[in-house]
A and B are shown apart, each in its own frame.
Chain A
Amino acid sequence: MFARLTGLVGRDLLRDTIAYSVGIAVAGASFGALATAQGLQWWTTMAVSVLVYAGTAQFAALGVAASGGGPLAVVATGLVLNLRHVPYGLSVGHLYWDRWWTRLLGTQNLLDTTTAFALAEGDDLRRAKIAYWTTGAGNAIAWIAGNLAGIAAGRQIASPEAFGLDAALPAIILALVLPALRDRSTLLACAVGAAIALATSPFLTGGLPVLLALAGLAFAWPPKEPEEAQR
């Protein structure tokens, strides 16, 4: 069965998924431990992780709640952070828009990394779908298993910063985005966008600066024909 899985998914993607999932498991464990330390019942923690299923927003919402923020602040913080999923869904939404259950699972599976993995496959629709689902499955299993381990371990787990995990996740996304940056227009749009996001970050609530980055697209306008623009 493992050989068949390797055959379908491909050795490289499987290896990348495993490497990435290990990082997610550690992040999941730290979320489970942190939530437990802040008095959340295990089933509430798991409900957040399964139903919201967005690591960054979960950590942020937990942080706001811990610092005495009201319900409105908790929900708003999480939702604003998640707004970046709108452009993600616009760019990869067709990959899972088949049956009702693939739509449901695919929608919940929309993440920074699953989007980046799918986009990294370029024009190959079949490979993009495989990447989206494979990395998504790895993420789901690792996140849930990590959560449970973190809840069980409670306060004993160190912060993810001690493992340098906060560097691993941006590095993964950077690695996946790099090939697209060979296109000069995309590179220019990304550079301007990143500069806008960095400049506005000190003044805006988390989640908005990365959306303002979209203004960088204006510097790559009008978009070239796809034959020239891809890869």
Chain B
Amino acid sequence: MSWLEVAALAVGTFLIRLSGPFLRGRVEVTDRVETILRRSATVVLAALVATSAVLVDGAWAGWALPAGVLVGGVLAWRKAPLALVVVAAAGTTALLRLAGVA
């Protein structure tokens, strides 16, 4: 990567990050708007979880990856601490891969 690419990525990313609070300052944020904004971010995060759990570069990721995320998700649902969620998710996927499951 050249310096020009790095600079363009850095400036562009900063402006993208800046646009959220900037737009927020332009509208009156009522409780209802707050609910919508918060829900929007949650929807994007959930979609990110779904896509990064089952797809790699737009194609099926294989069973090891979604299995790990699922194990982590079930533990989180059972109110397990985040450290356990992390270790269990990564461990499940790593062990499945070690066993030859894609």
Q: Is the CB of B45 within 8 A of A65?
A: no
The CA of A168 and the CA of B93, in the complex, are separated in Å by 9
**B contacts with A, residue count (CB < 8 A):** 78
**Is A90 in the interface zone, CB < 8 Å from B?**
yes
Cross-chain contact A189 with B43 (CB below 8 angstroms)? yes
Residue interface mask A58-78, B partner, CB < 8 A = 1: 000110010000010011001
A164 in contact with B94 given A44-B3, A90-B41, A209-B47 (CB within 8 Å): yes
Do residues A91 and B38 form an inter-chain contact, with CB atoms below 8 A? yes
How far apart are B95's CB and chain A's nearest CB, in angstroms? 8
Residues of B within 8 A of A209 (CB): 47, 51
Q: Which of B21, B56, B89 contacts A107 (CB 8 A)?
A: B21
User: Is the pair A78, B13 in contact by a Cβ cutoff of 8 Å?
Assistant: yes
Cα distance A176–B52 in the bound complex, in angstroms: 16
Contact with B43, one of A176, A216, A224 (Cβ below 8 angstroms): A216
> Which residues in A have their C-beta under 8 angstroms from that of B42?
119, 177, 180-181, 186, 189-190
A206 within 8 A of B: yes
- CB within 8 Å of B: which of A102-153? 103, 107-108, 110, 112, 115-116, 119
Given A40, A75, A213, A225, which contacts B8 in the complex, CB threshold below 8 Å?
A75
A48 near B32: Cβ-Cβ < 8 Å: no
Within 8 Å by CB of B32, from A110, A214, A225, lies A225
The answer for the CA separation of A207 and B94 in the assembled complex, in Å, is: 26
Interface positions of B (Cβ within 8 A of A)? 1-10, 12-14, 16-25, 29, 31-32, 34-59, 64-65, 67-69, 71-73, 75-77, 81-83, 85-95, 97
